[in-house]
Structure 1
Amino acid sequence: MKFVILIHSTPEPWGHPTGDFVAEHQALPQEQRDDMNAHFDQVLTQLQEAGELVGGEALGDPRSSTLFRWADGDPIASDGPYAETKEQFAGFFLIDVASRERAEEIAFHFAGPGETIELRPTMWPGGDEQ
């Protein structure tokens, strides 16, 4: 089963890893931040070695995005960001695991101070979750 782990964050300035730029993360003692970063690197290594990590990407500053919408029968383009909130889509990881329970177990490790993690199953064009 494939799932996408969506990272929502509010870094200021925008940068990656986003946690390094989020006030809640920056407020933690340096030793704790170092431990969290080491743990996250270890999780990614384990996922790669197990063949569960399909891929992932960090996304650029939302202010650099271009939005395309349909209006009056034609597509129109406008400057981003898309969301009217401070929290923005910062990146994603695609995983391929045996069960939703395993996906939830993995997603738990992606949640950090000041960030929101969304776990969502992928779908085939026909609509069945995979």
Structure 2
Amino acid sequence: MKYVILIHSNPQPWGHPTADFLPQYEPLSAAEREQQGAEFDALLNDLSERGELVGGQALGDPRDARLFRYEGGRRKMTDGPYAETAEHFAGFFLIDVADQARAEEVAEQFSGPGETVELRPLAQ
């Protein structure tokens, strides 16, 4: 079963890894940050070795986004960010796992301070 893990975040300034730009990570020591980074790398390696990681990508600054709408019989483009919100879509990972329980187990490991992780199945 394929799922997408959507990472919502609002680092200031925008950058990746997002933890380097989120105030929730500032109190952590360099060693704690390094350990979290190593744990995340280990997670990605494990998912790759199991054949569960299909792909993923960090996204650029939402201020560089463009929103396209169809209004009044015309197409209209506006500058980003795409929505008035405290969080923006920061990146995604596509996984292919045995079942929803495994997808939830994986997605939980992606969550961290200052970020929201959304797990969504792909349409069949």
Please classify the TM superposition score into its range, dividing by the shorter chain length.
over 0.9
Percent of pairs with identical residues:
60
Shift of 1:58: 0.4
Question: Where does structure 2 lack aligned partners over 5 or more consecutive residues?
Answer: none
1:95 is aligned to: 95
Amino acid at match of 1:70: Y
Shift of 1:96: 0.3
2:58 is aligned to: 58
Question: Where does structure 1 lack aligned partners over 5 or more consecutive residues?
Answer: 125-130
May I ask how many residue pairs the two structures share in their alignment?
Answer: 124
Q: SS state of the match for residue 109, structure 1?
A: helix
Pairs within 5 Å for 1:24-39: 24-39=24-39
Which whole-Å CA distance do the structure 2 matches of 1:75 and 1:51 have between them?
A: 41
1:128 is aligned to: none
Pairs within 5 Å for 1:106-117: 106-117=106-117
Shift of 1:20: 1.2
Which whole-Å CA distance do the structure 1 matches of 2:29 and 2:39 have between them?
A: 16
Structure 1 residue ranges (4+ consecutive) displaced by more than 3 angstroms after TM superposition? none
Cα RMSD for the two superposed structures: 0.8
* 1:71 matches 2:76: no
* TM-score of the pair, normalised by structure 2: 0.97
